[in-house]
Amino acid sequence: MAAWSKAYCLRQYLLITLLLLLDVLLADNSSNISTGGDVSAEDRDRTSVKKELRNPNRWMGAGLAEEEEIEPIKGFYLDEGSQMLASFFSTVSNEELGVTALQTIYDSLPFGVVEKDDASRVKDLSDRLQRKLSHYSSLVNLSRNAIEELFWHHLHRPLSTPAPCCELPDSMLRYESHFGAPVSEELSCDVTVPNHKPLSFAPGHNLTDVFANNLKMSPSIKWQYFLSADGGLSEYPAHRIDNKSGCNKAGDRFRRRNLYLSSVYPEPKFVVMVIDHGSALSPNQLSIAKAIGKYIISSLSDKDHIGLIALSDELHYAGVGDCFTRGMTRASRQTKFKLSRFIESLTKAKAPANHSLGFQQALDMARQAMLMSGNEAANSQASANNCASGNQTCGHMPPSMGDCPTASSNPVLLMYISRGLLSSLAEPRQVLELIALGQLCLQGRLVINTYALIDDGKPIMYEKAFLQDVALQNYSRYNVSFAALERLPIMRGQALAINSTRWLSSTVGDYQSVLLNSSAVQQTTVTYSPPYWDQLGKGLVVSLTQPCFHLDLLVGAVGLDVHLADLVEDFTYFNVAGGRSYVFLIDMIGTVLMHPTLSRPNTVSEETVATDIGFLEYRSGFAAIRRRILTSTSGSGKLTFSSTEHKEEEDGVKSTTLTYTWERVGSTPYIACIVTRSDKDGSDVQALRRLPPTSLPDLVYHRLDVVSSPSKVDLCRYFRQHSTLAAGSLFLSPAAHVSSFQFESWAEPSPLVIQSFMAFLSDKTKLIANPGLRSAVRSDVGALAQLVPYWRSQFSHSILSQFIVRRYAATATSGVMIEYPATVRPASFDPLRRPWYQKAVEFPGKVVVTGPSLDPSGSGYVVSISHTVYEGKSSTRHSPTDDVVAVLGADLTLAYMHRMLWATLPFCPDRAGQVRGSSIRCFIMDERGYLLVHPNLLDPSPPGSQSNIEQQHLTHHEPLVASDLLNHDRFVLKKACSSYPDRTVQRFYQLNLTLNDQWIDSSGSPDMPVPVLTNLVHGEHCIRYQIVAIQGTNLFVGVVNQTCESATAFCPCSTVDRLCLNCHRMEQSECECPCECPLELDTCINMSDTVQSEADGLPTCPAQPEMSSSPPPPPSQRSRDVELLPACLALDCEGRLSERECFGVVGCEWCVRDTDGHSSLQVPFCTQHFKCYGGVLRGSSPYTEDTNNGGMSTADIDSAFKSLPVGPVAGGVMAFFCFVALSIYCYRQQTRRRNHGVGSGGYGSGSGAGLRMTQLDNDMDEHDDIEPDGDEKTAVVTHEFSLAGGIGLDNVAIVSPYRVNTGYRRPAGGDSDHGYSTMTHDMHEDSEHTASYVEPLLVGRDRYRPTGRSVSTGSFSSRASSPLGPVYPTGRIANQRITSPGTLLESADELEAENNEKRQKELMNLHSSPPIRMLDDSLGMTILPDSSLNQLIVPVTVHMVDTS
């Protein structure tokens, strides 16, 4: 190893020396790209030969437009520079990353053939999900049983006092990341409707123990709640709902009414809605109609169907398709958005509504809905019979237009929203006749709800009666009679009068109750909601709800929310050897819950759009497989397609077969499916066999801030993180864990868990139990651990180590990742979804470069270099078709990439040349046209902005080059793909990396140069460019020479967002920045018959890599402060005296500009990068948390400010404030003496010796020595007190009612004594006494305030309250102010503070009151509440007072 290291170091020194010599000898940059300068005759002859070879017109089959001849630059051809760059990247990949070393390690390890058994794999996935859902369903059942028992108690002793969520004080809440909001796990809270009935069922805090036990049994669940039938909501854990409208006015969006409706009526609903917008409506009535329509649409679930008609004297629809004009469409999120937007656009028409026309069209829609419902049922049965046998041609049977449904199907609900103004007295009969004929066709399955739009204060004549008759289908009133109609089971609807848009959940929200009456059997199954965005706690969740009944009475629904990431964890991190299989999870209607093209649920920051599987599996022929998946419990199917690829078989066509294997997840509405890809070669999948455990002396777990052994490794500070140079760090990504969601949910893993990981991985005895890791983890860790000594040697001896931030590797199956130096990663970090990994897998065998990106550890902007490692083969040579087992990578500083380009291409100006205004610009871009090296990337960023460094495209900085390149149709193509999760069409560029293989020498000469692209002959020539591919990589290098001030070319780009400026056309020759357009889908499309992607001709966009840098987790409280650790790198930035020595070195920055960011420093210097970000002295940090100090640590700031004259400045400031404070104090004392009458004999002397109220107020304030503000309003005081000797009564108190004058007797007819008569000397005498007696011996300022005992002005009975619920006062003290003799009123602010304090005490008493015990007690028996305190039971005499 030592000899090898010496040889390698010698080779590295020679390579770097060669690059430096080139940089020195060719330091004089050329200002003209088209001339070669002064060269010798021999050089001219050699140049002429090279020019002839590089003439693009000499090569045949290029297919490119006519180009100018390639000219050398200072005698140096760009293609020669690209070959040097290719050699450099190959050297970095093999020797710095260790690709050769790791490939050798894997070639020496045993691999075996993996048996393909997709049926068992999908069965395992289905069973695991079934067990998880069964557990959550059992928790819902436990809550349902508790609620039904509580309701039985409620019938005897009402539980009707809610605890409002909006009154929770901040002191009771604590932020919990699992819930995403401040919560209290000890409490529940309620959200009520404004018309909350006194005896409404509100179990409130009595459910806390039940919900808390559920959370204890399953910590992964989120919210738990009870939805009452009258619109109330009880939720656990308690949280704050703030609303500007006041308490308990949080709005319908927090009320979960859509979950309630889908739970109590889980069957698919067919709704036809007619909205009147005729001329008879007032503006207020029109706004009410719109609000009702939008609310009904928002309450529908994805499996419901909706038809919408806007009615005036004619009909209007939301779309032009048949599903809008004649039938119905599924109520997907996109459909609901489109319909809501259509409703919002309605305006008042010029003619009144034609009710007959509206009902006629609505009845036709209802008929189509019932035909569709019956047809779907028939097709489902046919599919189950025919498709199960493998029949690929089974499909839907189209209904015959004009027919009536023959089979009983789900009822259709007609919602008619109108003022009801009649055009004639005969119109009601016409409408009822239409409805009667419609019911005969629909077999009485039509239910009509009407909503009369009224204005307050305006009388209504026949409108309300007409709409009520329509809802009740009162045919007899209008002499409408059919013999067959009387035999039909007509279901009556609702007729409501609506005059406000507020609280529609409590008025319109019960519109589905009419459907409940048609159901003979109670729905007690658990209902699963589609994934939706949690508005309160953020994140995607799925709700499990179940209705609650008392006998036949619907009480409400109970439910809980589960993180979507928890449900789909096995599908999110599914990885198998070879990477030829993937899985997805859908529901019974084809909506996708998880698919490889979707983002991980825990990384989603906003609500996504539900997508059908037919859009993501867009291959031709999948529609038939989709039907089979949705209609059969299990099965498999194959789909074969062809694609054209370069360098494939002779015909250039590659044939691929996809095998779909699916399994229904028990009784749940979910289906699991696995897809396996197989090519023509049919090679077997190889997997690493299990390796015997070995010790891991060179690895430590990455959370060094939690578990660190100073005796084993020496901790140090690597920029902003804990690290060590003695070992590499091991990171087990979520894919390495059996329960990835539990791992990601850990805010901080415990030291015992970390120790169990490391002990299991290195256990040679096989006695330590698996702590929850997947089976392949141990072998992958053992393979990668052998690379750490190689990296450590490179770190110590390689010259390039001063430019490399870190080296890392990740395995393909288990997601195991190792890094050196050690790096702390957040639990949610997934290396398999990073750009460096995914692009390396996309281009196997190539050196892939990605970035720039901001390093989360604090080293600034870096560029990543990565390369694949193949499955082990001991005898044969590897090829790009081999399966990838791991990817190696390294982060280099962005500045070094520029420095390397300057050293390789001598005509490229360095930063000094760019500052002087050089006309030449050199750049490197990837296969999508994104820049990795460009002079503009070195310009300082705006404060807190990364917009001019990351994701910068060629069209942003070189628009003329981009415009000209579009004419090279064989080199660059504009492409587009459909991104269904966010409903956008993504437009991007694809550069041809295989262009070199398509240039064929007509003479067959093997000496074929790399083709160089340049300006077209007829292009603009004030900007000249050359571009050439860097072989073996995904990169292109280019050079531009601009001889004019401005160019005429322009690539339109949005400066606000990524929206394309023209979404209606995309021409290949028109330049535009990469952008996106809205994806308009046909909501009438039948996914069983066709595929939207095929119709549009656009493929589905692949999964996008996670671009954003993941910040490290917050340091553990157990760890040492990272700022106190010694630095890992001995940076000697100040000792580097030239830009060549400083630029690109890790942690150093060459400072060239002053603090203003524009003026140049007279003497540039090298310093640490956090002191000079972007080359600007004290420049703004790209790290948002360092905006105040420029990225300096506390220790660095302290050392930087040691030389400042802090002492004198601080002393002057303190002296000034002391002077101001002394002046204010003297002024106050003088003012108080003047107000208190000092020198006039005290409070009782002089004229008017009575105590003034202002003096009394000031005396009270003396206790706190606080001067009231000048604008503070003082409450009026109603009593004056004076004692002999002129002493003010500073300590007046209200005496206890037990200390009273025994001679006092209650006057006849007085109120009850509340039981206090039992406390007097004679228990049989009426001894109720006043509470206004003043005891001067009781002192303390707090005695002025009323006691916490409730005060009421009316009489009440002193009978014991029901122990089944907490006892509450009949009126809230916070809303009253009772004054009595001896009570002083404070200022307005103090009064408000007192009221707030009392409200909090009431709320605390409300939540802390013990819940009822579930006992079968007899009526009339008093059950004492459970309490941990001792209880004293005494006999008392209770006076019963009849308050009637």
The dihedral formed by the CA atoms of 1047, 1051, 1052 and 1055, expressed in degrees to the nearest 10: -80
Tokens of 94: 């093999």
Q: Count the neighbouring beta carbons within 10 Å of the beta carbon of residue 1321.
A: 7
| pLDDT exceeds cutoff 70 at 187 | yes
481-489, Cβ contacts within 8 angstroms, sequence gap of 24 or more: 482/436, 482/440, 484/440, 485/436, 485/439, 485/440, 488/439, 488/440, 488/443, 488/444, 489/444
Which residues pair with residue 676 across a beta bridge?
A: 581, 659
Residue 989 near residue 975 (C-beta atoms within 8 A): yes
Residue 620 CA from chain centroid, whole number: 33
| pLDDT exceeds cutoff 90 at 894 | yes
pLDDT-based confidence at residue 1229 (cuts at 50, 70, 90): low
Handedness of CA 1106, 1107, 1108, 1109 (dihedral sign): positive
Tokens of 308: 């919408």
Write the secondary structure of 182-217 as one string of H (helix), E (strand) and C (coil).
Answer: EEECCCCEEECCCCCCCCCCCCHHHHHHHHHHHHHH
Handedness of CA 1168, 1171, 1174, 1176 (dihedral sign): negative
pTM assigned to the model:
0.77
| pLDDT exceeds cutoff 50 at 379 | no
- Using the structure block, give the residue that is written with the tokens 């006194």: 198
Three-class SS of residue 1018? coil
- Please state the rounded mean pLDDT for residues 375-389: 46
DSSP 10-41: HHHHHHHHHHHHHHHHT-S--S-TT---S--H
Pairwise pLDDT comparison (295 vs 12), residue with the higher score: 295
DSSP 222-274: EEEEEEETTS-EEEESEE----TT-TT---GGGTTHHHHHHHHS-S--EEEEE
| pLDDT exceeds cutoff 70 at 1320 | no
- Please state the rounded mean pLDDT for residues 1004-1033: 73
Q: Count the neighbouring beta carbons within 10 Å of the beta carbon of residue 614.
A: 24
Question: What is the structure's pLDDT at 609?
Answer: 83
pLDDT digits (tens, 9 = 90+) for 256-292: 888 888 888 888 888 999 999 999 999 999 999 999 9
DSSP state of 93: I
Tokens of 630: 């949705």
Angstrom distance (rounded) from CA 1197 to CA 1194: 5
Which residues pair with residue 636 across a beta bridge?
A: 661
- Please state the rounded mean pLDDT for residues 11-15: 52
| pLDDT exceeds cutoff 90 at 745 | no
Average per-residue pLDDT for the chain? 75
Question: What is the structure's pLDDT at 1068?
Answer: 83
pLDDT digits (tens, 9 = 90+) for 947-990: 578 889 999 888 888 888 888 877 888 899 998 888 899 999 99
pLDDT-based confidence at residue 1442 (cuts at 50, 70, 90): low
| pLDDT exceeds cutoff 80 at 461 | no
pLDDT digits (tens, 9 = 90+) for 201-241: 888 788 999 999 999 999 999 999 999 888 888 999 998 87
* Residues near 424 by beta carbon (within 8 Å), at least 6 away in sequence: none
Question: What is the structure's pLDDT at 1048?
Answer: 63
Lowest-confidence segment of 676-690, 819-833, 945-959, 1331-1345 by average pLDDT: 1331-1345
Question: What is the structure's pLDDT at 1297?
Answer: 37
- Burial degree of 370 (CB within 10 A; 0-12, 13-18, 19+): buried
Residue 543 near residue 559 (C-beta atoms within 8 A): yes
- Please state the rounded mean pLDDT for residues 1180-1192: 58
| pLDDT exceeds cutoff 50 at 867 | yes
Pairwise pLDDT comparison (1331 vs 1168), residue with the higher score: 1168
Angstrom distance (rounded) from CA 813 to CA 887: 11
pLDDT-based confidence at residue 1398 (cuts at 50, 70, 90): low
DSSP state of 96: I
Tokens of 653: 């066509």
Angstrom distance (rounded) from CA 1333 to CA 1142: 86
pLDDT digits (tens, 9 = 90+) for 85-121: 999 999 999 999 999 999 999 999 998 888 778 899 9
Angstrom distance (rounded) from CA 1247 to CA 1249: 5
- Please state the rounded mean pLDDT for residues 1232-1249: 41
Question: What is the structure's pLDDT at 503?
Answer: 72
Question: What is the structure's pLDDT at 1264?
Answer: 38
pLDDT digits (tens, 9 = 90+) for 801-822: 999 999 999 999 899 999 999 9
Lowest-confidence segment of 252-261, 469-478, 609-618, 1201-1210 by average pLDDT: 1201-1210
- Using the structure block, give the residue that is written with the tokens 């291959």: 619
Strand duo 329-330 + 527-528: pairing: unpaired
- Using the structure block, give the residue that is written with the tokens 């014991």: 1360
Residue 601 near residue 643 (C-beta atoms within 8 A): no
Give the Cα-Cα-Cα angle 604, 610, 613 (nearest 5 degrees): 110
Helix and strand element counts for the chain (H, E): 35, 43
Question: What is the structure's pLDDT at 1000?
Answer: 39
Of the CA atoms within 13 Å of residue 1127, those in its CB half-sphere come to 10
- Please state the rounded mean pLDDT for residues 1254-1262: 37
- Please state the rounded mean pLDDT for residues 1054-1076: 86
Q: In what order do the strands lie in the sheet with 238-239?
A: 174-176, 181-184, 238-239
Question: What is the structure's pLDDT at 184?
Answer: 92
Closest CA to 1363 of 1410, 1401, 1430: 1410
Share of the chain above pLDDT 70, in %: 66
Share of the chain above pLDDT 90, in %: 32
- Please state the rounded mean pLDDT for residues 652-677: 89
Residue 1176 sits at φ, ψ, to 5 deg, of -105, 125
pLDDT-based confidence at residue 1076 (cuts at 50, 70, 90): very high
Pairwise pLDDT comparison (919 vs 466), residue with the higher score: 466
pLDDT-based confidence at residue 484 (cuts at 50, 70, 90): confident
- Using the structure block, give the residue that is written with the tokens 């304030």: 1261
| pLDDT exceeds cutoff 60 at 1344 | no
Strands (E), 67-131: 111-113
pLDDT-based confidence at residue 643 (cuts at 50, 70, 90): low
Residue 717 CA from chain centroid, whole number: 32
Closest CA to 1040 of 939, 930, 954: 954
- Please state the rounded mean pLDDT for residues 325-338: 83
Q: How many residues does the chain have?
A: 1444
pLDDT digits (tens, 9 = 90+) for 505-561: 777 877 777 776 544 346 678 999 999 999 888 899 999 999 999 888 889 999 999
Question: What is the structure's pLDDT at 687?
Answer: 83
DSSP state of 1100: B
Residue 1196 CA from chain centroid, whole number: 36
Residue 866 sits at φ, ψ, to 5 deg, of -140, 160
| pLDDT exceeds cutoff 80 at 573 | yes
| pLDDT exceeds cutoff 50 at 752 | yes
Angstrom distance (rounded) from CA 571 to CA 734: 12
Question: What is the structure's pLDDT at 1371?
Answer: 38
- Using the structure block, give the residue that is written with the tokens 């049994």: 217
- Burial degree of 209 (CB within 10 A; 0-12, 13-18, 19+): middle
Residue 1033 CA from chain centroid, whole number: 35
- Please state the rounded mean pLDDT for residues 494-504: 84
Instruction: Return the top range by mean pLDDT from 405-409, 467-471, 1368-1372.
Output: 467-471
Strand duo 848-855 + 553-563: pairing: unpaired
The dihedral formed by the CA atoms of 474, 476, 482 and 487, expressed in degrees to the nearest 10: 60
pLDDT digits (tens, 9 = 90+) for 354-373: 999 999 999 988 888 777 76
Pairwise pLDDT comparison (1158 vs 1087), residue with the higher score: 1158
| pLDDT exceeds cutoff 70 at 914 | no
**Cα–Cα separations (whole angstroms), residue 1158 to 920, 949, 1067:** 21, 18, 40
**Cα–Cα separations (whole angstroms), residue 1414 to 154, 206, 1070:** 12, 10, 75
